[in-house]
Amino acid sequence: MKKFVALLLGFALFTGLTVNDALAGKPFKAPIPISLPVAQTGTITFSNAVSHISDIPETAWQSVQNVITNNKSVPKVNNVVHMGPNTTLDVGGGMPRIQTILSRGEKLWVGFSQVKNFYLLMYNAKDEPWAQSDWSATGKAAKFSAGDIKGEIARIAGNCQQTNSPGNFSGAPTNCRGADSSAISNSDNAVLTFGQGGQGAANDPYVTSGGIVGHEYTHSVQAAQWIGNPSTYCTERTNSPACFRSYRSNTFAPCWLIEGQPNSVGPMVAADTFEAYKTFHQNIPFGQGPSSVTDYSQASLLSYLTSQKPGQSTSPNGCISNGNVYRLGYTVGALVVETLVAIAGPQATMALEALGASGQDFPTAFKNVYGISWADAAVILSKVLAAEYATYGPPPQ
């Protein structure tokens, strides 16, 4: 019995639960700094969003700025920077600008779980072999699992290869345009692998202004909601996907939220002015090119939103394994999240993840956050999307 209690003590210290919580089997509860359901008292609500289409982008952007301004404290996130010896950063302003964007992102999510160490590994094609070696040494020194080290090395190369589908790459690692943020198993840490110097990066405002940095840090916060959840900390012998916080987040959320939240809120964090955000916004609607999934009518957009089955995102038939469906998260999903931010603020979107980490499925979490069923909200959001796409013109061929 003493040995059992000692193991519980170590587990409790690691996860943040008390020994009594562990002994009692108390359910895990991720912190949420806002009251739920959120109040709809602003300019835009679910009931009037369709008649306020033109107001949505600025209302959402301003809501993010208000939270950043009002949150005076900054979480103690340690940003650990590793940059290749031959690498020049694509982000204008270099590391000082990147650190500013990270600080703004950390302030936005005050009160939610955030990572302890955020590793930034930045490299160009010449330094790609260095990046693999550097991460291997970093991981071994920090006692990360062999699987984590191997998986991240694959993503390091993937940022410089052709992407066939999420997590599936091919070709020589010569065009370093990609970025990837992943939780590190059995830890409260995350890593951003960030390819630099790729074709067209110097002329892409999403890259040069740091929108991609805001995007990738948001991914780390999504998975951070599972920090302290006992099932995400496993022994090496367990070797289960459930031990990986990014996996847990991605199986809770539909793909429109997985990429829509970072691709909407992330640029809002990086944009100091609404004019800067508008520059990002111009590339959102069709930013991933043509789509065979939707014709952007209200009916097809509603089908896209409701056909994704949260909890099955990474299954063989899930949205993550379907590249065409997944890519729409960056576009349609970003516009959905922008509307949700305009209605109830950015923190409500992360409250969804926190409730997911606490054991709720997506429809239940949505109702508890917004006070409206996901089925009813999806109809409204599809109408908003259809009205927005009517103003953007036809999709690219």
What is the dihedral angle through the alpha carbons of 127, 130, 132, 138, rounded to the nearest 10 degrees?
-130
Residue 37 predicted with pLDDT over 80: yes
Q: Kindly state the percentage of the chain with pLDDT values over 90.
A: 72
Count of other CB atoms within 10 angstroms of residue 63: 22
pLDDT at 14: 40
Residue 16 predicted with pLDDT over 60: no
Residue 7 predicted with pLDDT over 50: no
Q: Which residue has the higher pLDDT, 335 or 244?
A: 335
pLDDT, tens digit (0-9, with 9 covering 90-100), for 149-166: 998 999 999 999 987 766
Q: How confident is the model at residue 28 (pLDDT cuts 50, 70, 90)?
A: very high
Residues 271, 384: Cα–Cα separation, whole Å: 24
pLDDT at 88: 96
pLDDT, tens digit (0-9, with 9 covering 90-100), for 104-149: 999 999 999 999 999 999 999 999 999 999 999 999 999 888 888 9
Q: How confident is the model at residue 175 (pLDDT cuts 50, 70, 90)?
A: very high
Q: Kindly state the percentage of the chain with pLDDT values over 70.
A: 90
Count of other CB atoms within 10 angstroms of residue 324: 14
Residue spans of the domains in the chain: they are 1-30, 49-392
pLDDT, tens digit (0-9, with 9 covering 90-100), for 207-227: 999 999 999 999 999 999 999
pLDDT at 236: 58
Q: Could you check whether the bond before residue 85 is cis, i.e. omega within 30 degrees of 0?
A: no
Average pLDDT over residues 375-393: 96
Residue 38 predicted with pLDDT over 60: yes
Which amino acid does the sequence have at 71? N
Average pLDDT over residues 281-302: 91
Average pLDDT over residues 7-22: 39
Residues 88, 91: Cα–Cα separation, whole Å: 9
Which amino acid does the sequence have at 303? S
Average pLDDT across the chain, whole number: 89
Average pLDDT over residues 65-81: 92
SS3 90: coil
Residues 262, 324: Cα–Cα separation, whole Å: 18
pLDDT at 12: 40
Residue 13 predicted with pLDDT over 50: no
Average pLDDT over residues 283-287: 91
pLDDT, tens digit (0-9, with 9 covering 90-100), for 224-276: 999 999 988 887 555 677 888 999 999 999 999 999 999 999 999 999 999 99
Backbone angles phi, psi at 228, to 5 degrees: 95, -15
pLDDT at 165: 67
pLDDT at 362: 95
pLDDT at 392: 92
For residue 171, what are the CA distances in angstroms to 141, 164, 201?
Answer: 30, 10, 19
Crossing angle of helices 298-307/374-392, nearest 10°? 130
Average pLDDT over residues 79-106: 96
Flag the least confident range among 57-66, 92-101, 157-166. Answer: 157-166
pLDDT at 168: 77
191: exposed, middle or buried (C-beta count within 10 Å: 0-12, 13-18, 19+)? buried
pLDDT at 290: 78
Extended beta strands in the chain, E state: 78-83, 117-123, 162-165, 168-170, 179-183, 190-195
Residue 306 predicted with pLDDT over 90: yes
SS3 274: helix
Residues 230, 253: Cα–Cα separation, whole Å: 19
